[in-house]
Amino acid sequence: MVLGAVVIAAAVAALMVVASRSREGALTHKQGMRLVLWAGGVVPTVVLLTLLVSTLPAMRPIRSAPDDLRVRVTGEQFWWRVRYEPPGQPRLDAANELRIPVGRNVELLLDAGDVLHSFWVPGLAGKMDMVPGRTNRLVVHATRAGRFRGQCAEFCGLSHALMAFDVVAMEPAAFDAWLAAQRAPVRGGGDGARLFAAHGCGGCHQVRGVTDGTIGPDLTHLGARQTLAAGMQPLTTAHLMRFIRHAPDVKPGARMPAYPRMTDKDAATIARWLEQLP
C-alpha cells in the first residue's frame, strides 16, 4: 500500500514537472486526450486494482475453532459487560476491560443490552455493531503483548463519548494464570465490605464472595484496572469517592443513582476497599 502511494505521488509530480516546463502547443489535441486517458484512467485503475488484490488476503475474517476462548461482550449505557467462556470451564464475569492471550484466536460474541452500540479497537480489530437481541461474532488475534484502546463507535446516549475500554494482550502463560486468579472470591473486607452492602451497592454490583448483583458492572477485581467508569478516569481514591456519591454528575445518563447523603467517611472507606481488590 505504501509502495502504491509512492508510485501515484511520483507520477503526479512527474506530470506536474513536465506540464510546467512544456511550451504552449507542445501537445496536439489528440495527444492531450491520449495523455488524459492513460494518466487519468488506465494507470490509476491498474495501480488501485493492484492495491486491492494485494490487500484482500489481509481482509479475510479469521476463523474460530471449537477450543478457542470465547468472550461475550455486551454494550450497556455506558459501560461494557464482559463474560469469559473458556472451553470446558465455568464462565467468568468482568467489566470495562478485556484481556486476551497473545498468539491465540479469541472469538468475541458481541451484543447490546439496551440500545445500539459498536465495538471498535483500531489497533487490533475492525468495527462491529452491537445490536440488542442479536449476536455478532468477531475473531481477534493479537500478535504482540500490549494495551489497545477501544471505544464505542455508535452514538448511544449522553455519555457515548465516555464509553471506552482497554484490551490487554498478555503472554499465554500470564493470561492463563490471570484467568485462574480471577476466579478466587474476595475474602473478608472489614468496614468497606460492610458499608458496601449497607448502602445497597450489592444490589447492582457483584463482588464475588461478598455480593452477587448483576445489574451494574462486576467490581470483584476493580483494583486491578487502570481506569474507572469505562475508561473515563484514572482509578484513584478521590475519583472513586466522587463517582460513588455523584455518578450521574460525573457521567451524564448513567443509571447508577447518586448518594448525596452518604458521608465522606463512608465513601472513602468503600473507595479504599474497592481500590485494593486485586
Give dist(CA 117, CA 252) in Å, integer: 17
Is the model's pLDDT at 58 over the cut of 80? no
Q: pLDDT of 15-46, one tens digit each?
A: 778 777 777 777 787 887 887 888 788 888 98
Give ∠ CA 80-120-114 in degrees, rounded to 5: 40
pLDDT of residue 4: 63
If you ran DSSP here, which 8-state letter would residue 239 be given? Answer: H
Rounded to 10°, the helix 190-198/264-275 angle is: 120
- The distance from CA 100 to its chain's CA centroid, rounded to whole angstroms, is 12
pLDDT of residue 228: 95
Q: Identify the band that residue 227 occupies on the pLDDT scale cut at 50, 70 and 90.
A: very high
Contact between 82 and 73 (Cβ < 8 Å): yes
* Helix-strand-coil split of the chain, %, nearest 5: 40, 25, 35
Mean pLDDT of 64-78: 96
Helix, strand, or coil here: 81?
A: strand
The H or E element containing residue 238 is helix 237-250
| Strand order from edge to edge, sheet including 97-101 | 97-101, 164-170, 146-152, 117-121, 125-130
Helix, strand, or coil here: 251?
A: coil
Which amino acid would we find at residue 266? D
Is the model's pLDDT at 184 over the cut of 90? no
- Please give the class, per CATH, of domain 69-182: mainly beta
- Please give the class, per CATH, of domain 190-275: mainly beta
Q: What is the mean pLDDT of the chain?
A: 91
Q: pLDDT of 79-102, one tens digit each?
A: 999 999 999 999 999 999 999 999
| Grid cell of 61 as nine digits | 475474517
